[in-house]
């Protein structure tokens, strides 16, 4: 009878039956413990190494398998499968259809969801379970519970349709056979874990060192040369995850697990270690591991800090409708970011995306979303352009515009040359290597006050500054500010102070800025004037008056504030400022024009 039963077994089950019948005669000393279930964490026998084990039972395999009275499930399964309905993983960026666990995954969960007693096996009467030191798996990282939303997804079909939809997933045919899928191409626990072999730790089929097991399936854009894949910085000094120490000693060895937890992640969506998105970055970028202390920068009075809002950012968000927020991942792709070796330069950074901002989403100059920004300003436009929650300005101007994409259009009557060159012959004050036709970047003005690219010792980028609004240098906008190199350090970083107060471009610069203590911002709008609101006659040279200082003057055509460009280095103004009324007040930058302008400008009373 026994022989007939064995003959009906499949080759795999027959081999397993032989293992059971010869288990007592095994010479365990000839097998490395980490290459066998024996002496591993899955050895629940009385001789097992862990605190959770049988009190008397000496068989090793019986906790999962039996040659007799097995469940109708390969391979000779010795446990009831849980009837639990699981909460499954969900993410806005997941293209796979994730179903309830099945097959081998349910076998694993018969212990690891904590719902079935460890000693309950089919080969023993229900009334006589194997007596264990613990009835079920105790709470902790190995007790997955019925909530699998914080664990790597299982129960989905990994096929060519999925890899065609998600280009950062490798086609299944190129995935190593060391990571077996289910009979219908499903992802199971056993795809990554071999419950009988703990040679690599955590029963992994492939090592997780340097993210080897992760990149077998995940083909992340830019990962090969990314800092998080190549940095040899040591991690023990980082702000340690209080729930789990990192497995390896360096950033590159830990790879994905620097930021992600495969099971029991604190932030379920995208399996992040820390609940607050920014804390996953600041764990290392606080001076503990990374070279620069970004945490200190975002603590400055003007900053891009993610600590104000939690749970608002979403990797799949629409830049036009998203709620106002900022997270590290809005400007940096942690899977692609590379070092930024740029030192002290001025005006030569160029507009193209560089190492720290590679493979980041953006909005183009024409207002079209792009998954891979080419220009730095495209990243800024995600939040500072067409979005419904873009920041507002606290200055009242003739023309009000908060959409920076519109302000920087190269077809505007005037604009700072961020999205394209501006060949304005009136600009004679540029400091080399800047010249007419040069292109600057948003970060030439908006940057950390300690940025290396401006002579400091800190990280480059608009993380935080002591100067508002997130400026690399001081830029006073209060009326009656005493002129100094420090007061207008931002402007003087590109425009020669000697040229400005020497009246080389405008014959009354010195009178206004030095004598009357009028800040640059009273007349000039730093970003630009949109062509749909202004024209070249009235808004050239960034002219857009601050109406909190400049008020309308009584002119023959009524009360108004106006500037009129009358040619190269020439124009006239109609306005009231500092108690002086200007009506078609002319200026021209010539010897005679400068003398006349100064004389008329210094006159008290009404200038007509």
Summarize pLDDT for 585-595 with one digit per residue, the tens.
Answer: 999 875 555 55
Q: Indicate the average pLDDT of the chain.
A: 88
More confident residue, 241 or 559: 559
Q: What is the mean pLDDT of residues 375-394?
A: 91
Q: In angstroms, rounded to a whole number, what is the distance separating the alpha carbons of residues 321 and 354?
A: 27
And the tokens for 363?
A: 């909005």
- Cα separations in angstroms, 244 against 140, 207, 264, 399: 11, 18, 10, 55
- Cα separations in angstroms, 412 against 205, 384, 415, 419, 532: 60, 18, 6, 11, 8
Residue 135 · residue 192 · CB < 8 Å: no
pLDDT confidence of residue 342: 72
Q: In angstroms, rounded to a whole number, what is the distance separating the alpha carbons of residues 183 and 249?
A: 38
Q: What is the mean pLDDT of residues 521-548?
A: 96
For residue 608, the 8-state DSSP code is -
Summarize pLDDT for 55-100 with one digit per residue, the tens.
Answer: 999 999 999 999 988 888 888 999 999 999 999 999 999 999 999 9
Q: What is the mean pLDDT of residues 550-574?
A: 94
Lowest mean pLDDT among 214-228, 234-248, 459-473: 234-248
Q: In angstroms, rounded to a whole number, what is the distance separating the alpha carbons of residues 540 and 311?
A: 43
Percent of the chain whose predicted confidence (pLDDT) is above 70: 89
Summarize pLDDT for 499-511 with one digit per residue, the tens.
Answer: 999 999 999 999 9
Residue 358 · residue 336 · CB < 8 Å: yes
pLDDT confidence of residue 72: 84
Q: In angstroms, rounded to a whole number, what is the distance separating the alpha carbons of residues 241 and 259?
A: 10
Residue 373 has pLDDT above 50, yes or no: yes
Summarize pLDDT for 125-176 with one digit per residue, the tens.
Answer: 989 999 999 999 998 889 999 999 999 999 999 999 999 999 999 999 999 9
Q: In angstroms, rounded to a whole number, what is the distance separating the alpha carbons of residues 495 and 416?
A: 13
pLDDT confidence of residue 36: 84
pLDDT confidence of residue 26: 39
DSSP 192-228: HB-TT--TTSTTBSS--GGGHHHHTTB--TTGGG-HH
Q: What is the mean pLDDT of residues 577-590?
A: 88
Q: In angstroms, rounded to a whole number, what is the distance separating the alpha carbons of residues 412 and 539?
A: 9
pLDDT confidence of residue 512: 95
Q: ∠167-329-303 over CA atoms, to 5°?
A: 160
Q: In angstroms, rounded to a whole number, what is the distance separating the alpha carbons of residues 69 and 493?
A: 83
pLDDT confidence of residue 597: 54
451: phi then psi, degrees, rounded to nearest 5: -65, 140
Percent of the chain whose predicted confidence (pLDDT) is above 90: 76
Cis upstream peptide for 433 (omega within 30°) = yes
Q: In angstroms, rounded to a whole number, what is the distance separating the alpha carbons of residues 34 and 203?
A: 9
Q: Which residues pair with 558 in a beta bridge?
A: 555
pLDDT confidence of residue 518: 97
Q: In angstroms, rounded to a whole number, what is the distance separating the alpha carbons of residues 25 and 47?
A: 16
For residue 515, the 8-state DSSP code is I
34: confidence class by pLDDT, cuts 50, 70, 90: low
Lowest mean pLDDT among 32-41, 185-194, 392-401: 32-41
Lowest mean pLDDT among 28-42, 294-308, 542-556: 28-42
Summarize pLDDT for 295-316 with one digit per residue, the tens.
Answer: 999 999 999 998 778 788 999 9
453: confidence class by pLDDT, cuts 50, 70, 90: confident
pLDDT confidence of residue 29: 39
Which residues, 6 or more positions from 580, have their beta carbon under 8 angstroms from its beta carbon? Answer: 604, 605, 606, 607
Residue 579 · residue 585 · CB < 8 Å: no
Question: Whole-model pTM above 0.75?
Answer: yes
- Cα separations in angstroms, 594 against 107, 311, 333, 591: 89, 58, 53, 5
Q: In angstroms, rounded to a whole number, what is the distance separating the alpha carbons of residues 412 and 542?
A: 10
pLDDT confidence of residue 346: 55
Residue 604 has pLDDT above 50, yes or no: no
Residue 543 has pLDDT above 60, yes or no: yes
And the tokens for 395?
A: 């200055």
Q: In angstroms, rounded to a whole number, what is the distance separating the alpha carbons of residues 297 and 450?
A: 9
Among 322, 411, 389, 310, which residue's Cα sits nearest to residue 361? 322
Which residues, 6 or more positions from 83, have their beta carbon under 8 angstroms from its beta carbon? Answer: none
Q: How many CB atoms lie within 10 A of CB 508?
A: 21
Q: In angstroms, rounded to a whole number, what is the distance separating the alpha carbons of residues 142 and 121?
A: 20
Q: What is the mean pLDDT of residues 346-364?
A: 85
pLDDT confidence of residue 235: 87
Q: What is the mean pLDDT of residues 379-392?
A: 91
DSSP 456-484: -SB--SSSEESBTTTBSS----STTPPP-
């Amino acid at each position: 009878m026994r022989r007939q039963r064995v003959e009906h077994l499949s080759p795999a089950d027959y081999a397993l039956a032989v293992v059971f019948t010869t288990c007592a005669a095994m010479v365990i000393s000839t097998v490395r413990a980490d290459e066998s279930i024996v002496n591993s964490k899955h050895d629940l026998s009385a001789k097992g190494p862990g605190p959770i084990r049988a009190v008397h039972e000496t068989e090793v395999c019986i906790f999962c398998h039996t040659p007799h009275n097995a469940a109708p499930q390969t391979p000779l399964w010795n446990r009831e499968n849980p009837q639990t309905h699981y909460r499954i993983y969900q993410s806005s960026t997941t293209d796979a259809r994730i179903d309830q666990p099945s097959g081998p995954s349910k076998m694993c969960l018969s212990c690891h969801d904590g719902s079935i007693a460890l000693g309950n096996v089919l080969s023993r009467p229900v009334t006589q379970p194997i007596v264990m030191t613990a009835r079920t798996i105790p709470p902790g990282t190995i007790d997955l519970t019925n909530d699998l939303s914080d664990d790597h997804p299982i129960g989905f079909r990994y096929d060519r349709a999925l890899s065609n939809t998600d280009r950062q997933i490798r086609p299944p045919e190129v995935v190593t056979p060391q990571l077996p899928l289910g009979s219908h191409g499903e992802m199971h626990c056993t795809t990554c874990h071999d419950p009988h072999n703990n040679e690599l730790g955590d029963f992994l089929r492939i090592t997780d060192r340097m993210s080897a097991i992760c990149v077998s399936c995940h083909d992340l854009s830019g990962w090969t040369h990314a800092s998080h894949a190549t940095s040899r910085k040591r991690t023990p000094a980082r702000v340690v995850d209080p729930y789990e120490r990192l497995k390896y000693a360096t950033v590159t060895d830990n790879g994905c697990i620097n930021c992600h937890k495969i099971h029991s992640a604190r932030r379920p969506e995208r399996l992040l270690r820390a609940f607050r998105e920014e804390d996953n970055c600041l764990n290392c970028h606080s001076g503990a591991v990374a070279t620069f202390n970004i945490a200190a920068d975002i603590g400055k009075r003007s900053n891009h800090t993610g600590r104000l809002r939690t749970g608002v950012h979403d990797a799949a968000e629409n830049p036009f409708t998203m709620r106002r927020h900022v997270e590290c991942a809005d400007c940096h792709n942690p899977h692609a970011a590379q070092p930024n070796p740029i030192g002290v330069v001025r005006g030569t950074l160029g507009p193209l995306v560089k190492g720290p901002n590679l493979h980041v989403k953006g909005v183009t100059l024409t207002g079209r979303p792009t998954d891979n920004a080419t220009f730095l300003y495209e990243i800024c436009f995600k939040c500072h352009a067409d979005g419904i929650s873009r920041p507002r300005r606290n200055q009242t101007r003739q023309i009000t515009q908060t959409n920076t994409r519109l302000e920087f259009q190269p077809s505007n009557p005037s604009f700072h040359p961020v999205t394209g060159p501006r060949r304005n012959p009136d600009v004679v004050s540029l400091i080399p290597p800047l010249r007419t036709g040069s292109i600057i970047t948003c970060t030439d003005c908006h940057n950390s006050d300690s940025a290396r690219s401006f002579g400091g010792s800190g990280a480059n980028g608009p993380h935080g500054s002591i100067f508002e609004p997130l400026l690399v240098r001081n830029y006073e906008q209060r009326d009656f500010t005493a002129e100094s190199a420090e007061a207008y350090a931002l402007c003087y970083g590109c425009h020669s102070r000697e040229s400005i107060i020497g009246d080389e471009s405008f014959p009354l610069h010195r009178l206004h800025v030095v004598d009357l203590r009028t800040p640059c911002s009273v007349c000039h709008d730093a970003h630009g004037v949109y062509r749909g609101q202004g024209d070249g006659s009235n808004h050239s040279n960034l002219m857009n008056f601050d109406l909190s200082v400049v008020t309308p003057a009584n002119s023959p055509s009524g009360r108004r504030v106006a500037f009129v460009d009358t040619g190269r280095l020439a124009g006239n103004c109609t306005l009231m400022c500092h108690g002086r009324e200007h009506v078609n007040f002319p200026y021209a930058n010539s010897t005679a024009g400068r003398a006349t302008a100064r004389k008329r400008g210094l006159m008290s009373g009404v200038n007509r």
